[in-house]
Amino acid sequence: MTSSKRCPNNATGPILLIGTQKGLFLAHPTPERGAWALEGPFIPGYEIPHAWLDPRKPQTGYAAANHPVWGSHVYRTQDYGKSWEGVGRAPHHAPGLYEPLVRALWHLAPGPASEPDALYAGIDPPGLFLSLDAGEHWSPVTSLNHHPTRHTWEPARGGFAVHSIQVDPQDPKRIYAAISAGGAFRSDDEGRTWKPINRGVRAENLPLSQPETGHNIHRLLLHPARSARLYRQCYKGTYRSDDRGDNWTEITAGLPSDFGYGIAVDPSDPDTVFVIPEQSSDMRAVVDGRLRVFRSTTAGQHWEPLLEGLPQQHVYATVLREALASDGLDPCGVYFGTSGGHLFASRDCGEHWELIAAFLPRILSIKAALV
């Protein structure tokens, strides 16, 4: 199988930030991405559900960290991940609103390009927070945290949190966020008001099959090259929107399951998307014990399995929502990590795969940073 899609970019190689159940690891490739060197763990003992280097200031990066004893913290690097330090106090609800004040820090996201110290954070219990000083202090985004539909949100098996926070690079007033389980929301006015964007998405586990809110959305992605194009992976199905989330088209047909967590895109091609379906909400492991990445180069109209180099028997692993990523190089690199601590990489948009690390702690997140 040969892909006709390319990912033009003049960068020489990514740094992979690998968040695990026992700390953060970095993987560095050779210029040809033929071999990898692993460093870490950094922030040892903490669960790292999200970590990245900032595209506005690449030497700077952030990690969400949670510990069953020491609580939730934001960590920051200012030397490309070589060292990390705690920053301020983690975002949390005010006393008396929701209990606990913060159960876990789930997601961190950069603010607009014009505000290099602006950050967003999503926590459990569901809350969206904004920092204007690189994580030193946080303010609640009350327009979402107290949204009129909040009574329809409910805990999901994997948590009850805000995630998938993204600022539209072509219109910084437009912000997206997802809530498990509450659904996807969009603000067109810098977070002053929020609109549910779930029309056309199935929710057969709820009393209404297509409710306005209450959806268990696993991941929401804005395509950086075409900001009207969104993809989402849900408890029930995979979807595409071509109008900033106002309407959704289901693109599950051709996949072996309608359940899954991870979804990634080719940053240079809005029509190329990757998913890793899972058996069911009960099994929560890859379908039929076969580790396969499915790719569409037609915006979800057709899917093809990518399996060269991946084990095809007795694989009972999970790939979580933040554990599938791409780098946008030419050709595009794609990466994913499993609940068993195995890290796979493809240098050619998924055509061939190689195991680049094994027996790590449970992998929670992967982010590729071009430096």
DSSP string, 9-61: -----EEEEEEETTEEEEEEE-TTSS-EEEEEEESTTSEEEEEEEETTEEEEE
Q: Is residue 114 part of a domain?
A: yes
Six-digit token string for 15: 């740094």
CB 40, CB 51: distance < 8 Å: no
Separation CA 225–CA 240 (nearest Å) = 15
DSSP characters over 314-351: S------TBSEEE---SSPPEEEE-TTS-EEEESSTTS
Phi, psi of 252 (to 5 degrees): -75, -30
Write down the pLDDT at residue 281. Answer: 78
Does 349 map to a domain?
no
Looking at residue 4, what is its pLDDT? Answer: 34
- One pLDDT digit (tens) per residue for the chain, 371 residues: 233 333 334 445 689 999 999 999 999 987 765 689 999 999 999 999 999 999 999 999 999 999 999 999 999 999 999 999 999 999 999 999 998 999 999 999 999 999 999 999 999 999 999 999 999 999 999 999 999 999 999 988 778 999 999 999 999 999 999 999 899 999 999 999 999 999 999 987 777 778 899 999 999 999 999 999 999 999 999 999 999 999 999 999 999 999 999 999 999 999 999 999 999 777 888 999 999 999 999 999 999 999 999 999 999 999 999 999 999 898 999 999 999 999 999 999 999 999 999 999 999 999 999 88
Task: Establish if 187 belongs to a structural domain.
Answer: yes
Q: d(Cα 338, Cα 336) in Å, to the nearest integer?
A: 7
Q: Contact 245/197 with Cβ under 8 angstroms?
A: yes
Residue with tokens 């809350």: 127
Q: Is residue 41 a part of any domain in this protein?
A: no
In DSSP notation, 18-32 reads: EEETTEEEEEEE-TT
Residue 365 lies in a domain: no
* C-alpha of 254 from chain center: 23
Long-range contacts of 31-36 (CB under 8 A, 24+ apart): 33/329, 33/333, 33/345, 33/347, 34/347, 36/345, 36/356, 36/357
Domain count along the chain = 1
Could you tell me if residue 263 is inside a domain? Answer: yes
Specify the pLDDT at position 9: 40
Check residue 208 and give its pLDDT. 76
The tokens for 196 are 């549910």
27 found inside a domain: no
| Residue 140, domain CATH | 2.130.10.10
For residue 158, give the nearest of 227, 76, 219 by alpha carbon.
219
Q: Residue 167's domain spans which residues? A: 52-73+89-320
Q: Does residue 247 form part of some domain?
A: yes
pLDDT value, residue 32? 66
Could you tell me if 178 and 220 are in contact, meaning their C-beta atoms sit under 8 angstroms apart? yes
This prediction's pTM? 0.94
